[in-house]
Amino acid sequence: MTLDLFEGLEESALPAMQPLAAGAVLLRGFALAQGAQLLAGVEAVLAQAPLRHLITPGGFRMSVAMSNCGALGWVSDLSGYRYDASDPDSGRPWPPMPAAFRELAAAAARAGGFEGFAPDACLINRYEAGTRLSLHQDRDEGNYDWPIVSVSLGLPAVFLFGGPKRSDKAQRVPLTHGDVVVWGGASRLHYHGVLPVKEGEHPLTGACRINLTFRKAR
């Protein structure tokens, strides 16, 4: 059989869902229509809980700047990684997760095969040119029953998606504004990271990439 099926179709009409591994999919452009609304939500959250560079348990300052919204926020300091109901910088609860964030995360999870996802934590990551995130697992959550939903906004980046061991070969997945990656089930604990972001200018975010990572932390 040939690919006659796709002949004459624009590239944009090709399937937008790309499997990465068992339980993991890339949803190309899934958040494109909501990009500006999501970024307005990010701005509102950051006005209450500004971005900061967390310190790792090993004493290093993370190059990715972070904040959170939702009932729980992911934080790191010399005592370890954890989820906290309040912002350690202000002592106040994290700003509530905007409805548009929750709805998008649930819709993306559903498209990835995970019905009923109700995230209680949204980590906001800001990458400036040269910023990277080294290979890691997301394993500070209370259980691994729910997927991770990761939304890319602004400048492009190369996402590394590996396997259950740090030494497993990682796929290089180019992500652009509006792309969403969902991983759960058999790939929930797969190693992942982001290569250094290249310099650039995006009409909605300027010189940076913003990533929203939704989790069910408890």
159 contributes a contact to ligand SIN by CB under 6 A: yes
Q: CB-wise, 76 or 213, nearer to ligand SIN? A: 213
Query: What would the x/- binding string for ligand SIN be over residues 115 to 154, using CB under 6 A?
Result: --------x-x-------x----------------x-x--
The DSSP secondary structure of 173-214, one letter per residue, reads EEE-TT-EEEE-GGGTT--EEEPPPPP--BTTTBSEEEEEEE
Residue among 37, 39, 18 nearest 28 (CA): 18
Q: Determine if 179 is a binding residue for Fe ion (CB under 5 A).
A: no
For Fe ion, the binding residues in 109-168 under the rule CB under 5 A are 138
Q: Is 16:110 a contact under the CB 8 Å cutoff?
A: no
Give which of Fe ion, ligand SIN, none residue 217 binds (C-beta under 5 to 8 Å, depending on kind).
none
For position 213 contacting ligand SIN by CB under 6 A, the verdict is yes
CA dihedral 24, 210, 68, 218 (to 10 degrees): 0
CB 186, min distance to Fe ion, A: 17
User: Between vectors from CA 41 to CA 37 and to CA 47, what angle results, nearest 5°?
Assistant: 145
Instruction: Please report, as ranges, the residues that interact with Fe ion according to CB under 5 A.
Output: 138
Instruction: Please report, as ranges, the residues that interact with ligand SIN according to CB under 6 A.
Output: 123, 125, 133, 150, 152, 159, 192, 194, 211, 213
